[in-house]
Chain A
Amino acid sequence: MFIDIACAQLKKHKQNAFGDYFLSQRIPEENRLLAVLSDGLGSGIKASILAKMTATMLLRSIAKNIEIKKAAEIMLNSLPVCKVRGISYATFSVIDCDEDGNVSVVEEGNPDFLLLRGGRVQPIEHHEIVSKTQPDRKLRTYHFKTELGDRLIFCSDGVTQAGLGNNPAYPRGFGKDGLLAKLQDALTADQTMASGDLAKFIAQSAAQVEPHSQPKDDISACVVYFRNPREALIFTGPPYDQEKDTYYAILFAEFSGKKIICGGTTANIISRELDRPVVTEPGEQSGSLPPSASMPGVDLITEGILTLTRALEYLEKGQLEEKDAAGQLVALILQTDVLHFLLGAKINQAHYDPALPIEIEIRRNIVKKIAAILGSKYFKKVNIQCI
């Protein structure tokens, strides 16, 4: 199973910092995903720093395989308690799950998370651990196994308490019931909705319950969705050994997910080997990059180095709506969970001619950088096969 995780946040009205913090990390070698959602007490900068501290410390602890219960207990004992309010500074939910569906959750202070299976809430058993030093602080721990299609919904109290005291339709706030009704609406309309879209939808729905849609508290919604991975293959660069062109062209043709070619020579090799024509049509979208092209059975064809370099730039800057060839490439990449690269090692000497007016990087480096940012910022899994 692939774990599609995303979080959407809205700031408390008139604040300039998020008082909730979400942090996530994939550990590819263990097929494992960790995430922490923390809600700092109060709002603004103070809450933001405390939530960040809590989330970062917890994530590091569990990444180092300190048992989730123990890590949370350490946090609980070390978190300062607000002098004015007498309660602790930051609540948290810790998620530790793997692709076989084994999930551990520890919650302290955040609204209970929901497990959705087939559109319904599935009750889950939990254990309560009382902090030795602070008896009013209770950790809830859960261990369970998810199935394909399950979703976990985590949120900060900004979601469940939205509209509290201000909206006659929700006298006790948006609450779990309000949230569930909205979730069912969204999932009936689109059963396979991506986590990013659903998280955004939850945050917006909660905000809409507030007067003038102005959140009275920081709002965070995190969605974890266990589903079949959507895969894509990017073939870039000619294989080092020309004799293997046919083999890799067939491998490419037989791939079941989305197929992308980045590179003029690469496109020509595949065109030759599969006997399919490449058609290039410069249109208005081409801008300062060579235009995209098309070939039967291939989802996107672009030029190589320049386009990959620009795509990396878009991913780094979060410019995800561009229309040129690199923008199209980014859009396709973001629709997938697992991205495979067939990275041809052959180098075109002419690209390194000092007469060329711009800096052209080595393909291998660009792909490595793209893989790194996709893993760390966009939570994608990336495999690179050098050929």
Chain B
Amino acid sequence: MRPIEVEICLGTTCFVMGASALQNLQLPESLRAKVKISYVRCLHLCKNMDKFRKAPYARIDGEVIDEAAPEKIIQNITQKIKDIAHATN
């Protein structure tokens, strides 16, 4: 199975709104092998203020996650893994 791709935005807005706590995101042991985390300079979401006013942002397999916090990210990853398992069964 290909790993789930998590991109965490470390742009200025996201950083001050909470991404600083995502810099060393620790995933539960069971998820680590299934996930690839990368950090990006900026996802360019915050500049579109009408749509995106909920920094910090992360992107998980292309899906934008607002107000990204460790629990929310882990929850989403777990869900994605379940969906993939479900689809392949």
Contact = CB atoms under 8 A, between A and B. Distances in A.
A350 B41 contact: no
Interface string A258-271: 00000111011000
Interface residues of B, number: 23
Nearest to A238: B47
Interface string B47-89: 1010011010000000000000000000000000000000000
Contact of B11 (A291, A303, A357): A303
A198 interface: no
B16 A360 contact: yes
Nearest to A304: B12
A280 B7 CA distance: 11
A84 to B, nearest CB: 62
A229 B12 CA distance: 33
Contact of A290 (B10, B17, B46, B52): B10
Contact of A264 (B16, B17, B41): B41
Nearest to B25: A282
A286 B52 CA distance: 26
Interface string A295-335: 00000010111100000000000000000000000000000
Contacts of B40: 264, 278, 280
A358 B17 CA distance: 9
Interface residues of A, number: 30
Given A268-B42, A360-B12, A349 B49 contact: yes
A265 B13 CA distance: 12
Interface string B1-44: 00000000011110111011001100000000000001111101
A133 interface: no
A44 to B, nearest CB: 48
B16 A358 contact: yes
B50 to A, nearest CB: 10
Given A288-B20, A350-B49, A358-B16, A280 B11 contact: no
A281 B13 CA distance: 19
Contacts of B20: 288, 290
B89 to A, nearest CB: 36
A282 B39 contact: yes
A290 B15 CA distance: 7
B39 A265 contact: no
A262 B42 CA distance: 12
A306 B12 contact: yes
A290 B24 CA distance: 11
B41 A280 contact: yes
B13 A351 contact: yes
B86 to A, nearest CB: 33
A356 interface: yes
A353 B13 contact: yes
A293 interface: yes
A360 B55 CA distance: 16
Contacts of A289: 15
Contact of B16 (A280, A281, A291, A356): A356
Interface of A: 263-265, 267-268, 278, 280-282, 286, 288-291, 293, 301, 303-306, 348-351, 353, 355-358, 360
Given A267-B41, A280-B40, A351-B12, 6 more contacts: A264-B42, A265-B44, A303-B11, A305-B12, A348-B46, A350-B47
**5 nearest A-B pairs in the assembled complex, by CB-CB distance:** A264-B42, A264-B41, A350-B46, A280-B39, A264-B11
9 contacts: A268-B44, A278-B40, A282-B24, A286-B23, A289-B15, A291-B39, A305-B12, A306-B12, A355-B53
